[in-house]
Amino acid sequence: MTAPNKQQNNESKPRERRAKPGLLQIIGSTFAAALGVQSNKNRERDFRGGNLKVYIVSGILFTLAFIGGLVALVNYLLAAH
């Protein structure tokens, strides 16, 4: 009678160990979140297996790159006139 109980316990437990998102998945999640088009599936993956510090650093780097790109574009356009 113990075997069915063990089987039920294993089936009722949520999967605690999830694969961590790779570098491309983190970058993709950062871009999607910045644009506001992140899918629910990817958001759940990020919250389950991701590391908060990695996403914070990724967001900061994205923001700096975005601002740098805008500054470069404005400087280029102003120099063209």
Between CA 33 and CA 37 the distance in angstroms is 6
**C-alpha to C-alpha distances, 61 to 51, 64, 80, nearest whole angstrom:** 16, 5, 28
> Would 73 be classed as within a structural domain?
yes
Q: Which domain holds residue 71?
A: 19-80
**C-alpha to C-alpha distances, 6 to 20, 29, 46, nearest whole angstrom:** 28, 37, 30
> Would 6 be classed as within a structural domain?
no
Could you tell me which residues come within 8 angstroms of residue 27 by beta carbon, excluding any fewer than 6 positions away? 58
Question: Per mean pLDDT, which range of 4-8, 9-13, 19-23 is the poorest?
Answer: 9-13
pLDDT tens across 62-79, in order? 999 999 999 999 999 999
In the chain, the number of structural domains is 1
Q: Is 5 a residue whose pLDDT tops 70?
A: no
Q: Two tokens at 14?
A: 């949520």
> Would 63 be classed as within a structural domain?
yes
